[in-house]
Amino acid sequence: MQSLGRRYVQYANRFYRRTGSLWEGRYKSSVVQAESHLMACMRYIELNPVRAAMVADPGGYRWSSYRANGLAQPDARLTPHSLYLGIDADPASRCSAYRALFRRQLDAAAASEVRQALRLGMPLGSERFADAVCARLGIRRNTGKRGRTPGEDPTSRTALTEQQGFGF
């Protein structure tokens, strides 16, 4: 199986004119606050082939859900999200409104926010949403900023307890 996998990677790299492994890096995901960030994420994902200069229009990429969402091409593998369905009751109007979202590029701030959430593995949404998700999962919220959380006391009991095991 290992030999077969290596040969397939070589074949795929030659065929698609690429290098490296088929799945470079780890799988990354992020919980998304649907009401405020889902459409931005959908635009980010569906514009990836355009940003990569693979196609001129998101509808030109055959693996994109844009064909179903914006061009009304049925795809049995997809289940439309309720927010997408809520754009308009009429399917033709809904597709037209969805296409209108793509007339301009996703702004740099929104794209950066999506990338950072993925890179850090943190929730994407409002501060309150992200804090609630992290609290529910029992994880510390990583904002990507280095250093201590503002207002954190370096001599707090937990900080001292954590250091005792290291001989400080």
Verdict on whether the full-model pTM lies above 0.85: no
Instruction: Residue 120: name the closest of 130, 129, 110, 128 by CA.
Output: 130
| pLDDT at residue 2 in the model | 83
149: Cα within 13 Å, side-chain hemisphere: 8
Query: Is the separation of the CB atoms in 124 and 32 below 8 Å?
Result: yes
Mean pLDDT split into 10-residue runs, the chain, 168 residues? 86 87 75 91 91 92 93 93 93 94 82 89 91 90 70 52 47
Question: Is 56 in contact with 50 (CB distance < 8 Å)?
Answer: yes
pLDDT of residue 91: 94
One-character DSSP codes across 66-113: HHHHHH----TT----HHHHTT-SSHHHHHHHHHHHTSSPPPHHHHHH
Give the span between the Cα atoms of 168 and 162, in whole angstroms: 10
Sign of torsion over alpha carbons 44, 48, 49, 53: positive
